[in-house]
A and B are shown apart, each in its own frame.
Chain A
Amino acid sequence: MARAATKEKTDTKTDTKTSPKTSLATPWNVIVHDDPVTLQNYVTKVFKKVFGYSDSKANRLMMEVHKKGRSIVWTGAREQAEMYAQKLQAHHLLTSLEKVET
């Protein structure tokens, strides 16, 4: 990450346009899938703990997982998406990652 920042600074000297490579990185979705074993309250608790979501948002996402079979619980840069997915799997929520289709 430090290297990308340095390159961006250098680029601005010769070209004020933002490089598509640095500005348009494809976002990734963190997806949680339903499983019949994990308790609903536990899923809500994990969403609150991992993302800092409010009780109502965490509960809404949990219900979406339960009713629709999956829910996109976070979208953003790949590195952070991987970190979140790892934290969710640390609590054994069935989690996958997908690149957002553009």
Chain B
Amino acid sequence: MSMWAARVDEGFIFGDLTPAAVETLKGVPMLIESSDSRVRDRLLPETCSKEEDEEHWREHAVPELERLFLSRAQLVRRDLGALRKIPDTSNSVLLVPHEHVNAWLAALNAARLALFALNDMTAEHLEVEGFDKATPKQQEAILRLDMMAEMQAVMLGDDEFDDEDISFDDFIID
């Protein structure tokens, strides 16, 4: 995966997204909306040890969280709907507008947690040596986890950018 990233006036651009990378991103809303108990147990975890407190939590806090997750999934879907194809290649460019960055950060985190849970992974799998010990399905999940972590790192400001005055339009190639 040869993804690159740039900060522009409108937000963050992620370029040269391969079909596999696009497929990973299109999986983000689906993972958030998953009804699999392993995903739900992680995204909406048991919060209180006492049964009556947990019931209170489930009744008052969880429905709002569920609504928030669904609205985030919709927002990610909308941004993905605006993916642009790079001519003469099978790759694409994605814009994450500044006002969507926090939603994307949380959505990517949710998707990574969901993938981790669905593939029966352990912390060891995320170590450098863990990849070789993983099953092929887990290895694929690790690559997806890494790609989404790279996007998170960019939006968290881990990567430095030149402060050039550039715009998304500079990257329009279709």
Tell me, yes or no, whether B3 is within 8 Å of chain A by CB.
no
Inter-chain CA distance A86–B69, complex, in Å, is 12
Contact with A along B35-67 (1 / 0, CB 8 A): 000000011111111100100010011001100
Residue among A45, A85, A98 making CB contact with B61, cutoff 8 Å: A85
In whole angstroms, what is the CA distance A49 to B122 when docked? 29
A27 CB to closest chain B CB (Å) equals 14
Residues of chain B within 8 A (CB-CB) of A89 are: 44-45, 47, 61, 65
Is there an interface contact between B145 and A90, defined as CB atoms closer than 8 Å? no
User: Which B residues touch A90, using CB under 8 A?
Assistant: 65, 68, 106
Chain A residues with a Cβ under 8 A of chain B: 35-39, 41-42, 45, 49, 82, 85-86, 89-92, 94-99
B123 in contact with A36 (CB, 8 Å): yes
Q: Size of chain B's interface in residues, with CB distance under 8 A?
A: 33
B-side interface residues toward A, CB under 8 Å?
42-50, 53, 57, 60-61, 64-65, 68, 102, 105-106, 109-110, 112-113, 116, 122-123, 126, 145, 149, 152-153, 156, 158
Minimum C-beta distance from B150 to chain A (A): 10
Complex interface: chain A residues within 8 A of B112 (CB): 37-38
26 residue pairs of the A-B complex, CB under 8 angstroms, read: A35-B113, A36-B126, A37-B109, A37-B126, A38-B112, A39-B153, A39-B156, A41-B156, A42-B105, A42-B152, A49-B102, A82-B61, A85-B47, A86-B61, A89-B44, A89-B47, A89-B61, A89-B65, A90-B65, A90-B106, A92-B110, A92-B113, A94-B42, A95-B45, A97-B57, A99-B50
The closest CB in chain B to the CB of A41 belongs to B156
Q: Which residues of A contact B113 (CB under 8 A)?
A: 35, 37-38, 92
The DSSP consensus for interface residues of chain B is helix
Whether B105 contacts A86 by the Cβ 8 Å rule is no
Q: Are A45 and B53 in contact (CB under 8 A)?
A: no
Cα A96 to Cα B113 in complex, Å, equals 17
Chain B residues, CB < 8 A from A86: 61, 64-65
* A residues in contact with B105, CB < 8 Å: 42, 45, 91
Q: Which residue of B lies closest to A44 (CB)?
A: B156
Q: Closest CB of chain A to B152's CB: distance in Å?
A: 6
CB distance from B82 to the nearest CB of A (A): 25
